Amino acid sequence: MLKKTSIYIIMLVVGICLLASGIFFQELVQKSVQGVLLGLGAGLIGMNIANLYAKHIDKKNPQMAKRKEIEIKDERNTIIRNQAKAKAADITQWFVIGIAFITVLLNAPLWLTLVIVMVFLLYYILGIYYTSKYQKEM
């Protein structure tokens, strides 16, 4: 418990440092680097504050934490989460191919369109790989 809390605190400090460096070193870095620093810093700060708050709530109410842990490990809930992930991936694949078509219509650089198409193909390749892997395991 203490180990995970310390990781959240360390990542919170890293987020604060990234955010501060994005704010204070505006003249020294490019705008894109500054945006990345600000985005990563703000994301790390928000994520780790939420995790620390959740740990605090779990510590105050151990029965609720135990029930939540059982629900996470429950086989039925795991199947539901996996089905939801699969459906989200199926929907997302069509958005990716839609973005590829939009880049063609906007006369975007060819490399950008090819990268998007490669992401689309990677989805199918990984799907075939994991289907084969899980069929061998089961």
pLDDT tens per residue across span 13-47: 999 999 999 888 877 778 888 888 899 999 999 99
Q: How confident is the model at residue 62 (pLDDT cuts 50, 70, 90)?
A: confident
Q: How confident is the model at residue 2 (pLDDT cuts 50, 70, 90)?
A: low
What is residue 8's predicted lDDT score, i.e. its pLDDT?
Answer: 92
Instruction: Please list, in sequence order, all residues whose beta carbon lies within 8 angstroms of the beta carbon of residue 5, skipping any fewer than 6 positions away.
Output: 52, 55
Q: Answer yes or no: is pLDDT of 133 > 80.
A: yes
Q: Give pLDDT tens digits for 93-127.
A: 999 999 999 999 999 999 999 999 999 999 989 98
Helix axis angle, 75-105 to 110-137, nearest 10°: 160
| Element of type H or E holding 98 | helix 75-105
In angstroms, the CA 22 to CA 24 distance is: 6
Statement: the pTM of the whole predicted model exceeds 0.85? no
Q: Answer yes or no: is pLDDT of 3 > 90.
A: no
* DSSP class of 29: S
Instruction: Please list, in sequence order, all residues whose beta carbon lies within 8 angstroms of the beta carbon of residue 92, skipping any fewer than 6 positions away.
Output: none
Tell me the three state secondary structure of residue 127: helix
Burial class from Cβ neighbours inside 10 Å (0-12, 13-18, 19+) for residue 104 reads: middle
| Contact predicate 55/8, CB 8 Å | yes
Q: What is the mean pLDDT of residues 4-16?
A: 92
| Element of type H or E holding 103 | helix 75-105
Q: And the tokens for 67?
A: 């029930």
Lowest mean pLDDT among 66-75, 83-92, 118-127: 66-75
What is residue 10's predicted lDDT score, i.e. its pLDDT?
Answer: 94
Q: What is the mean pLDDT of residues 58-81?
A: 85
